[in-house]
Chains A and B, each alone.
Chain A
Amino acid sequence: MTPAVRLVLSHFWVAVAAFGVGAMMAVMQALARAGVELPFGTANLYYLSVTAHGVLLALVFTTFFIMALGYLVVETTLGRIAGPSWAWAGFWLASIGTVITTVAILSGTSTVLYTFYPPLLAHPAFYIGATLLVVGSWVWCGVMIASFVSWRRANRGTRPPLAAHGMLTAVIIWILATAGLAVEVVILILPWSVGLVDRIDPIVARTYFWWFGHPLTYFWLVPAYVLWYTMIPRVAGGKLFSDALTRVVFIQFILFSTPVGFHHQFTDPGIAGGWKLLHTFTTYAIMFPSLVTAFTVTASLEYAGRARGGAGTFGWIGKLPWSDPFFSSVALSMVTFALGGFGGAINAAYAMNAMIHNTAWVQGHFHLTVGTAVTLSFMGFSYWMLPRVTGRALVWPRVASVQPYLWFIGMQFFSIPSHIAGLMGMPRRVYTGEFHGIEAAQAWIPLVNISAVGGVILFVSAMCWVGVLAGTMFVMPRGATRPIEYAEPMVAPPDGASLWDRLGLWTAVAIVLIIIAYAQPLYHLHTMARFPSRGFSPF
């Protein structure tokens, strides 16, 4: 095993372990909501597990997986990981932070959910662990940027490989996003949680949280898009439809993923409607690159299907390698993301948001997007990557082939009823949806029960994924490794870096957009007469 592979796999296994634990929390929640009597089913454990599920999946699983993918991409496209000892330091910082936060959650002293909105007050260890996780990820950002800069110095004027361009986009989005999180946690929350400061303003804290919270979703999505654009066309037997346009798509994510946070705060007091409308515009702008992605990746797949002998308008679809778990994972992710994207357009629709804000619709929405488009893509990629870098064949290839379909089906059962229940008014994150048998709540009970069936299917699928990966690692003999191969573009791009490769320039433009979107409302919030709140720990 090369040092780079060891680094990649260390991050990868932390992600898989976090996923396994988080999935167990999830199935318990789905069953508890459906009223199944569990020996450990109390409100206390329910909200504790919602916190653990959110932190372990949305923050730990995604971050470690993306760090693993980032290192793999710079190693295989740029031929270097600059500062491997820094990379290991980042890994240990993030791992220690994860352990500290997880222990804080499991001790029951930090049941604040993964959004940890003040004035809910968790044990300081919860925030300290989360900070270490983010600091570890910043070290990753530094190593990724140093690797890219080192490559560019040695290859002046050469167009950077597309996959590296995409992963650097994710790095930049993460830095822009976590700037807001750092203000919230380091400046506002940490001094307050250890008692140095008495009070905190919940709306100011929320505003910094959502500065972070939406680009966070693009930090998840852009690495999935790297798989869709730079690997899947080749896995399907074809080529990438357009290299040049793909770079434009990534740059648009740098520009528009951050100045959009108020669309999570449409119902908040203290923020004027005009600023919410401005963030509505930028939120719709960020849908554009995803719509382009839908065309480019689908066109690449059509090319692949025709290259495999498919004919007619739809004949190429059946020729695609549907039993290859990497391919099927991404194809099913794309279908699911189309549904999730249109739901997102409703979430972002200014006044219409009031119909679904904080209802079960929202949990349905993000299980289609991060819970499937991103997660299922990562699952499929794991089946492809692990045999290549370790030389071990998949232990149960049939299970691997079926698992993505199980996830897809389970997620439809989970998410579609959640959307409908949300439209009927059922709130999200409730231990029980019954409200003491009050009439209006009766209508959504059957939907909650269907969601629970989806939750069980998802759990089976999750355990299949973890089982195949662990079995491959521990049971299968080591053989010859194979290279990580990237898709060729259909038309070779012109030599030399273009305007769309100037990541520094676009980052500067993105910062200007963030200032336009946030400077005035934050100034207003900070300077108005406010009454910050002391902390509460009602758990």
Chain B
Amino acid sequence: MQVDRYERYWMWAASGMLALFLVAIVVTAVSGGAHPPSHVETINPETLDIGTEFATPGVVTAPDGSLTVVMRAELYVFKPDVVRLPVGRPVRFRITTPDVLHGFQIVGTNVNLTVAPGYVSEGTTTFTEPGEYLVVCNEYCGLGHHNMYSRIVVEAAP
């Protein structure tokens, strides 16, 4: 096929740019662990209150000191609606819902999860600054969607 010289240069440049983007994505994924949240775990949304960790949402400190926040998203609240966490430590969030799809986005962090009934979503972050963080639902869930938010209070180390 006859392709103009400048168009050939352009196509090489375009291919190079896309390849560069993909290399950056793969390198940060492999070396820096920069992956999207992709936790695979299912749970019965109708029996969350019967003997699961989601019956009593809150902060859980494991024997090794690692922090997990167990949360529930429900039409139009997050439980618990205020979470207190220390600054500078990795925190794992585990969240599910007994009703419709919700979003779990901690504004100003990389935590942005789709929450679906029947599935447990996980995301990890480290709060580097103390302060109050806004958590919003970013997936339309019904007429009170815009009222669905909560707060995370990150406290400076004592």
Contact = CB atoms under 8 A, between A and B. Distances in A.
Interface stretch (B3-11, B57-65, B84-92): B3-11
B140 A269 contact: no
A441 B134 contact: yes
A424 interface: yes
A39 B26 CA distance: 52
B7 A119 contact: no
Contact of A269 (B34, B41, B134, B143): B41
Given A345-B21, A438-B149, A536 B100 contact: yes
Contacts of A354: 36-37, 110-112
B20 to A, nearest CB: 10
B155 interface: no
Contacts of A299: 4, 6-7
B39 A245 contact: no
Interface residues of A, number: 77
Interface in B20-60: 21-22, 25-26, 28-29, 34-46
A281 interface: yes
A291 B16 CA distance: 12
Given A244-B2, A295-B10, A351 B36 contact: yes
A245 B7 contact: yes
A281 B38 contact: no
B99 interface: yes
B113 interface: yes
Given A43-B144, A269-B119, A431-B146, A425 B107 contact: yes
Contacts of A427: 103, 105, 136-138
Interface residues of B, number: 69
Contacts of B40: 269-272, 528
Contact of A538 (B103, B144, B147): B144
B14 interface: yes
B1 A244 contact: yes
B79 interface: no
Given A43-B146, A351-B28, A357 B138 contact: yes
Contact of A242 (B7, B75, B138, B144): B7
B7 A538 contact: no
A349 interface: yes
B19 to A, nearest CB: 9
Interface string B116-140: 1111111000000000111011111
Interface stretch (A2-10, A260-268, A458-466): A260-268
A530 B36 contact: no
B117 A533 contact: yes
Interface of A: 43-44, 47, 50, 111, 113, 117, 119-120, 201-203, 206, 241-242, 244-245, 248, 265-273, 276-277, 280-281, 284-285, 287-288, 291-292, 295-296, 299, 345, 349-355, 357-359, 424-425, 427-433, 435-436, 438-441, 491, 498, 528-533, 536, 538-539
